[in-house]
Amino acid sequence: MKKYVHGYSTIEANRLNDQADSLADLLHHDSVWQEGSIILEVGCGVGAQTKTIAPKNIKSKFISIDISEDSICQAKKLMESEGIENVEFLQADIFDLPLEDEYFDHIFLCFVLEHLPNPNTALEKLMKKLKRNGTITLIEGDHGSTYFHPDSLEAKKAINCQVELQKLNGGDANIGRKLYPILEKVGFQEINVTPRQVYVDDSNPDWVEGFTKNTFTQMIKGISEEAISKGLIDRRTMAKGISDLYKTAEGEGTFCYTFFKGIGVKK
């Protein structure tokens, strides 16, 4: 990873937590593994997903790793404040894991592959850590799946800046649609990928705030200065794009986005 496109600021930590809270049911109603499992969570960040999946699997043990020491510290504090005790944290790099081979029953990654220049290599490394018949679960977004009302060319251009910046950093903001071929290429079997669509209108105020405004639009705001400074967009178009994204969260506005959850088995 050249540079983590979203950065590690407090605003970004809050955004990840808002994202996780508003999406918890959609993404995690089935994030349940058999009791007594040892589960590796890779790229846990500030623990935004950990705080949902660990309590759902209270009789299993999690080892949650991230390359960022600072994020690990924040994740530890979050688990303490939530009274979650079945997680051990470790600062580590996916590509150099200080963990035994064939040790884990399950592996879980959320919003990590999109940032890596070599997602297949990462999965090959992780596959080694899985026991036979163990599973890997991947959750990723896909910015190409975004559409909204009122439609706006400027908003689409602003979103595309995120896609381009992620590409410049070696990642892929449209990776969700590729989970099946990636899992297949790496050699996982019994692959199952399900789209998880977020559709937001005024009848769901929690998602208007938690997803359209505080997760998605906040993400585009977060990369706006970098996109302008790299010449990907001019300031006026970016400002109009962001303002138009906020309009999709008002009155008659609507917003759609699709995440993808893929599961594969190591045979």
Ligand X SMILES: C[S@@+](CC[C@H](N)C(=O)[O-])C[C@H]1O[C@@H](n2cnc3c(N)ncnc32)[C@H](O)[C@@H]1O
Q: Does 215 sit near ligand X (CB under 6 A)?
A: no
Q: How far apart are CA 247 and CA 239, in angstroms?
A: 12
Q: How far is the CB of 151 from ligand X (least distance, A)?
A: 28
What values do phi and psi take at 145, rounded to 5? -90, 5
Q: Which SS3 state, helix, strand or coil, does residue 117 take? A: coil
Going through 121-267 in order, the beta strands assigned E by DSSP cover 130-140, 147-149, 189-200, 254-265
Segment lying near ligand X (by CB under 6 A), choices 98-106, 107-115, 248-256, 258-266: 107-115
Q: 95 or 147, CB closer to ligand X? A: 95
Answer yes or no: are the C-beta atoms of 233 and 157 closer than 8 Å: yes
Question: In terms of Cα–Cα distance, which of 172, 214, 195 is closest to 257?
Answer: 195
Pick out residues in 87-106 that bind ligand X (CB under 6 A): 93-95
Selected from 40, 63, 67, 198, the binder of ligand X by CB under 6 A is 67
In the complex, minimum distance from the CB of residue 62 to ligand X, in angstroms, rounded to a whole number:
12
> What does the block give as tokens for 92?
């580590």
How far is 215 from 13, CA to CA, in rounded Å? Answer: 11
Write down the least CB distance from residue 210 to ligand X, Å.
Answer: 14
Beta strand pairing call for 147-149 and 61-66: unpaired
Locate 141 and state its tokens: 């977004």
- Please select the residue that binds ligand X; options are 22, 49, 137, 152, rule is CB under 6 A: 49
Q: How many residues at the interface with ligand X, by CB under 6 A?
A: 21
DSSP at 96 = B
**Can residue 112 be called a binding residue for ligand X (CB under 6 A)?**
yes
Distance of closest approach, residue 253 Cβ to ligand X, in angstroms: 26
Among residues 24, 27, 43, 141, the one that binds ligand X under rule CB under 6 A: 43
Of the candidate spans 67-75, 153-161, 200-208, 256-264, the one that interacts with ligand X by CB under 6 A turns out to be 67-75
End-to-end CA separation in angstroms for the chain: 29
Binding status of residue 115 toward ligand X by CB under 6 A: yes
Tokens linked to 254: 């609507």
Backbone angles phi, psi at 192, to 5 degrees: -140, 120
Strand ranges in 98-223 using DSSP code E only, listed in sequence order: 104-110, 130-140, 147-149, 189-200
Asked if 48 is part of the footprint of ligand X (rule: CB under 6 A), the reply reads yes
Among 61-69, 78-86, 187-195, 232-240, the segment contacting ligand X (CB under 6 A): 61-69
Asked if 1 touches ligand X (CB under 6 A), the answer is yes
- Determine which residue in the list 111, 148, 255, 259 makes contact with ligand X, applying CB under 6 A: 111
68 binds ligand X (CB under 6 A): yes
Query: Which tokens belong to 262?
Result: 């893929």
- Positions touching ligand X (CB under 6 A) are 1, 4, 6, 16, 20, 43-45, 48-49, 66-68, 71, 93-95, 110-112, 115
